[in-house]
Structure 1
């Protein structure tokens, strides 16, 4: 039995078809935890066991993890809480349930940065790494998917790209760093969940196909979209004020700023790129298949 949390999110909805294609042939049953079962596609809902509710609820995870062999763990974003409470606090009931039910394997969505000089002051990433430690301490075999920034983050700038031909971030324009498509994260997660021959605890870096700078992203978008796109660097102070203006918890807002500062200080640069850490979806392909259609009226 594989339990999937957040099955309707960006990663989960790409993970579900991969598991549904392969799990039954391996004799694997699937169970999902979802707040609103109506959001599941009919093709998914009719083939899985559904546990309604939040996977931050002790009663829900206690029920869902009963008889489970493996769990896909993803903490949903909650900017109304402090970073530690949003990650480790949310995960604590699940950690208790993992231990109580003797779940063997967990694959979690986390971040790059462990072992780097800035890991302890990286805001949301620091909180995510603490979440990893909490899960690993339960005695399960655990693999943390160590991810850089997602291509999909650019979808937050869809209107600005369409209307003004620009996108913003806080990184230096020429700073190259790994980026990854969520579809590639889902594929790595599926492989680990279906082949559980691994033991112990560790990180699995998911680095995309190459490092890119914001200027590289702008150039590729210009080429693929057939319209000029430029990058504008945003001061961290401006980002912080905007986050507070949107009503984020002040500690969470600071956690976002600290994460952005740490990324510009090399948070994502500590893992060597190898065939094992490289995933296939190029930014060019992602622009053609995801961003381009999202920009259409």
Structure 2
């Protein structure tokens, strides 16, 4: 059975704050390590009231310090927001502190809206176009003999695996051309998933980092002891997604009984589409959904995300998923 990993957005729930989110994040990582998850990734988002992981490298260091074996990384760093040298130094520092445990996933979106992106003082017209060159520059900083006159200290000569993240065909093409592993955001943008996987595998060029294509796919799991409880827990994420797409980003709200029956037809259609790569239910339901998804996609690894309001219920969801993974093995 393929490895399972954890994607944590360090959610800020209604009535709580970022400090509690960080305590929950570390607790989840420690449990995930014991349950056998391979990686624990955090994502860069800015200006989002329900996501606490804006200073992603700082939070990665916090999680890595509180764990011992699980790989910890970014899923991802939004490279247009930063100079490649700064990211090389940050992740060179993390790799020096926690050797052979740090991953660096890279995305080309700003991880925010346009107003927030401008507040980060970026040239919005050119950043996306510069992304491939920025990735190449960043990879060079980690090489044993960088071609650039500036050195990343720490960074030069360190083994920090790079990943390309994406939700469209652009990332698939770039990851294939550079011979890098590819993580597709199917947990919230599944529309081009199968086409992107096929494009990546067909055009992959081996590199010093990777000999064969490697595809990791995002997958939502809302697992509980019964189908009914899982469906109830999933309504927090469903509400948050509708709020976001309606221009009203919010903290993660508590679950709501019969939420789907209260949604407008266009909202229900949106949720059906964007959350199509999900398993919501009891252990048996989750196992069936995971088996079908892996068989359909041929994924090399799954990145499990579970946006559940109550921390104990979120832990239980990941525990059930780990038990399903063990049973499939």
TM-score tier (shorter): 0.3 to 0.5
TM-score (norm 1): 0.36
